[in-house]
Structure 1
Amino acid sequence: MTGMIERLPGWPLVLPDLFGWMDSGLPGVLTTPGLHSIRIEESLKDGVYILRAELPGVDPAKDIELGIAEGVLTLRAERGTETTAKHHTEFRYGTFARSVRLPAGARGDDATADYKDGVLTVEVPVPETKTGTRIIPVRHV
């Protein structure tokens, strides 16, 4: 699965989710104000690369932008606040962005995207390519 990050389940058990740290920012490390990461799931099934992204509370018609250039899928979304009074919130507002490298041979021109129940699903066909070791038969002469 070229281009997909392989993560070891349960490793290491003592450390918190590192991807959660990157999403919220490490203590003492400056992050770009108003720019947040998007949590994703990636899989490759039956010749299709599938990316699922958590994007609750956005209007897919006007708040989501998808693009593919040079084998990289870029996803940008924006969620605005609708509050008039101060209050405590842990929701994230502003611009969200994420880029992922597609598997080799992915056909970006044939990509499709659907949004349902706060989850964006992007599917990109990936033709099966012959890779690996070629076995050469040895003839007895």
Structure 2
Amino acid sequence: MVLTFDPFRELDRLAGQLHSAAVPGGTTMAMPMDLYRSGDHFVLHCDLAGVDPGSVLIDVDNRVLTIRAERSPRTDDDVQWVRRERPTGTFERRLTLADGLDPDRITATWQDGVLTVTIPVAEAAKPRRIAITTAASRSGAEQAAISPA
């Protein structure tokens, strides 16, 4: 088995642990995500296991897509924690949308703790074929426009 070390991910994890220790439950953390293009739209998957779908807010303001979610801590008073690794609090992700995307047609679905956001490519940004005219076809069209019918 090959393990890869990502120093930035490790740094984020450590910073999150330090921050959550200083301000329990009051942190804003990033959520893991995948983003890919499929045909004429982009698809974003965010892992939000244990988050109530009703707490998820998605908005677009000035071409910035913001996803916020809240995972509440367990409030059982009779629980004695042995280990607590699942973070609670507010999770947030911000993405700047390119000009070639259509923010008015963004859709979102929720299934099994995964939020899926579909961001369509704008019609003006989609590839299109340009017709080529030749000099002969252009002069024939010009003659037809000049000749009385």
TM-score normalised by the chain length of structure 2:
0.67
State which drifts further: 102-111 or 73-82: 102-111
Whether 1:25 aligns to 2:14 is yes
Q: Does 2:68 align with 1:76?
A: yes
Q: d(CA) in 1 for partners of 2:108 and 2:31?
A: 16
Name 1:118's counterpart in structure 2. 113
User: Which structure has the larger Rg over C-alpha atoms?
Assistant: 2
Structure 2: which 5+ runs fail to align?
A: 128-149
Q: Which has the higher contact order (CA 8 A, sep 6+)?
A: 1
Distance in 2 between the 1:56 and 1:26 partners?
21
Contact 1:50–1:124 (Cα < 8 Å) also in 2 = yes
Q: Which consecutive segments of 4 or more residues in structure 1 shift more than 3 A?
A: 25-33
Deviation track 1:51-72 (CA, whole Å, cap 9, x = no partner) reads 1100011121x21000111211
Equivalent residue letter for 2:55: D
Q: Name the structure 2 match of 1:98.
A: 93
**Corresponding residue for residue 80 of structure 2:** 86
| Structure 1 length-normalised TM | 0.70
Measure how far apart 1:30 and its partner are. 5.3
Q: How far does residue 21 in structure 1 lie from its aligned partner after superposition?
A: 3.3
CA RMSD across the alignment: 2.9
- Distance of 1:81 and 1:98 partners within structure 2: 20
Deviation of the 1:127 alpha carbon? 2.6
Distance 2:126 2:111 in 1: 35
- Structure whose residues are more often helix by fraction: 2
